Structure 1
């Protein structure tokens, strides 16, 4: 079989997963087209025309695909510290969160790409090293080299065909935290009637929790608790009130036929409030 056919088969396979693909320079990781995110496609006819022309490597546009891919790297020669897999495992242990088996691709350098489904209602951005050392995130604005692609030092190989699972709630929260702390100029909240502002924010998050579908319970609750925690840290909301209201809003989750329990609800709320309070929103006029 012509090697061009092999690349074409992988491109068609990934497109059949409903993941838009686009070509990379043969043997490289660089896009072969401009505006690759908008030109990525799942159309078999377009894919055949493209990959019949050359031995293009294959890339998946993670944002349009609805994916969040966690890229675990190995230390480069001369570097010290843990590899990405170890760093992610340590982060999971700190957060008390699971790392479920999911669709996985190995990389030529010995790393791994963990493919997760982006939870509905989230808009996570790509990042490099913000989550943990040698742990990158590929989401909106990013892409990953797909399985079947090759480089001088090896190839990207599918090692676990498990259907991608949803990004765990603790990872959603961790990604959101790192994204917020990466902003150089924090948004400031005017200190005009902060109690009213805080109450409105808490009411809005509680409503979002009540409306969350069962498959989104953990992710929505975690994100809401973190959001409110930032306001607790800025003295815009009383911690006791915030905790009680969030737990009350999530009360229905324990009887919704999912894995939620009152203990787990309290744990997620407490973790989110604590993490958020460490990164409070800035307020104008507040004394240092």
Structure 2
């Protein structure tokens, strides 16, 4: 007798909707939306007045959900924006990545430790690939978009314009399973500060002031590179992290190009004895954080 997965998928879809999360069907066994596209839109039903994409058709209506998931064994998509969610996607390295490339869970945990924050305790799922989805409730009055690598390498986010595969869904590589806390916690303020779009103030500086700022930045780069290259064992990663945090502000202010800072600190870290992959991970997370937190120019003292 063939097992019918539809009851379990329907139950998972209804459970998500009961949490206030807007769901829509994904093709059976996949992560792709099952709803029709704009070119094949029949302009009937919910699309009578115009084509509605999956984000606008996602629903919490149990009647519509039952009608959909009794029809076929659809996987479950959660439209994060309408659901009031920000989901942090801790991904796994791709097949063509270096063997020593850290996964998103490792990178995110290291970032939390370096910035003095605990790994947030919130509702999460284990993804089919072995990664994690961390669910957070979005702050009121702030419309966040999707990001890719803004927080750290292999750490993406899904908000407005994005969706995640819900627990209870299954793909050929495995199931999506709930783990951790039973409810989604509010998005931590330190994560919001990284993700929130910054309104960059227009600052008019004279050519002389701009040149002085660049000279100061160049001097800071030389000093930080020297500190990293000469760091003692046991302090190398921390020294590299602090250097990147210190220099990130000059990238944000336009005094130093990011590629120059990354290359110089990467070479200094490797010269001190750090593995190349560790240098890259530390630099990206520290620079991303510093740039996000230094959009407004301050005195470089």
Q: TM-score range by the shorter chain?
A: 0.5 to 0.7
- Using the size of structure 2 for normalisation, the TM-score is 0.60
1:88 aligns with 2:108: yes
For 2:81, what is the secondary structure of its paired residue? helix
Aligned residues: 199
Counting only pairs closer than 5 Å after superposition, residues 233-248 of structure 1 correspond to structure 2 as none
Who is 1:279 aligned against?
295
1:21 aligns with 2:41: no
Q: For residue 280 of structure 1, report the CA deviation from its aligned partner.
A: 4.2
Who is 1:72 aligned against?
90
Q: For residue 82 of structure 1, report the CA deviation from its aligned partner.
A: 1.2
For 1:189, what is the secondary structure of its paired residue? coil
1:189 aligns with 2:202: yes
State the Cα deviation string for residues 26-81 of structure 1 (Å, max 9, x = none).
11101111400000000000001111111110011101111110010111224132
State the Cα deviation string for residues 157-185 of structure 1 (Å, max 9, x = none).
11224211111111101112xx55xxxxx
Alpha-carbon separation, structure 2, partners of 1:138 and 1:6: 25
Q: For residue 277 of structure 1, report the CA deviation from its aligned partner.
A: 6.7
Counting only pairs closer than 5 Å after superposition, residues 125-136 of structure 1 correspond to structure 2 as 125-136=145-156
Who is 2:121 aligned against?
101
User: RMSD in angstroms over aligned alpha carbons?
Assistant: 2.8
Who is 1:56 aligned against?
74
- The verdict on how the C-alpha distance between 1:175 and 1:190 changes in structure 2, with shifts beyond 3 A counting, is closer
Structure with bigger gyration radius: 2
Q: 2:200, 2:296 within 8 Å by CA — same for their partners in 1?
A: no
Alpha-carbon separation, structure 2, partners of 1:29 and 1:111: 15
- Using the size of structure 1 for normalisation, the TM-score is 0.63
For structure 2, the 5+ residue unaligned runs are: 38-52, 206-248, 255-289
Q: For residue 5 of structure 1, report the CA deviation from its aligned partner.
A: 1.1
Q: For residue 83 of structure 1, report the CA deviation from its aligned partner.
A: 0.7
1:157 aligns with 2:177: yes
